Amino acid sequence: MTQELIDLRASILEGRYEDALIIVDELDWMSKKGTLLTIESFLIRMLIHLIKNQLEQRLTNSWAASIRGSIMEIKKRNLQDNKTSYYVNQDEWDSMLEDTLEQAIRDASVEALNGNYTSFQLSEMVDRNQVIITAKSLLFLTYSHSIKELAAVVDDFLTQVPGGEDWQFGRQR
């Protein structure tokens, strides 16, 4: 990005405004791409824990914290600087979830069910549709709740996933 800023400065000083605008567009694209990659990494982290929850039918404090933390970070990063628009709109999560779910299944195979299954085996066991429905429900909370109230709303939501009630009342297995 440093070279782009040097080129932008030179273009402006030399009066090459069309070149400068092209560089500004490139910088904007680079920034958006970086934000989307960060969102994707939090999305994968959340999916891994939703997969583990689905397969093991339980929820641990650690998993809840990872899911909650991922949603909080996605909320923070998804809102653009203008505070009125998003990098990923509500109707755009499907493709992103489909793109990241397979990686999340592979990564979850290391920990889910004590790591006793390969990613191939785990892939056969996961109800992908249910994981996506749960993930979208969590993601949609980021559009309707402030960052201040979001953690509590996510915790309330998590009481409804398998093992969530046991987690809520400290009856984890």
Q: Compute the distance between CA of residue 58 and CA of residue 47 in angstroms, rounded to an integer.
A: 15
Res 1: pLDDT: 62
| Count of the separate structural domains present in the chain | 1
In percent, the amount of the chain with pLDDT more than 90 equals 76
Which among 22-26, 69-73, 83-87, 167-171 has the top mean pLDDT?
A: 69-73
34-to-78, 87, 97, 158 alpha-carbon distances in Å: 11, 11, 17, 29
Closest among 86, 102, 99, 91 to 136, alpha carbons compared: 91
For the segment 70-89, the average pLDDT, to the nearest whole number, is 92
Residue 79 CA to residue 43 CA, distance in Å, equals 15
In a domain, 88, yes or no: yes
pLDDT at 88: 95
- Which DSSP category does 90 fall into? G
Paired with 86 in beta bridges are 79
User: What pLDDT was estimated at residue 173?
Assistant: 62
Report the helix count and the strand count for the chain, using DSSP H and E: 8, 0
E strand residue ranges, 40-160: none
Question: Is 173 part of a structural domain of the chain?
Answer: no
What are 56's two structure tokens? 């093991």
Q: In the chain, what is the greatest distance between 2 CA atoms, to the nearest angstrom?
A: 69
What's the pLDDT at 62? 96
Kindly report the pTM of this predicted structure: 0.87
| Residues spanned by the domain of 81 | 2-168
**pLDDT tens profile 87-144:** 999 999 999 999 999 999 999 999 999 999 999 999 999 999 999 999 999 999 999 9
Query: Does 136 reside within a domain?
Result: yes
Q: pLDDT category, 15, cuts 50, 70, 90?
A: confident
Residue 102 lies in a domain: yes
Q: What are phi and psi of 36, to 5 degrees?
A: -65, -35
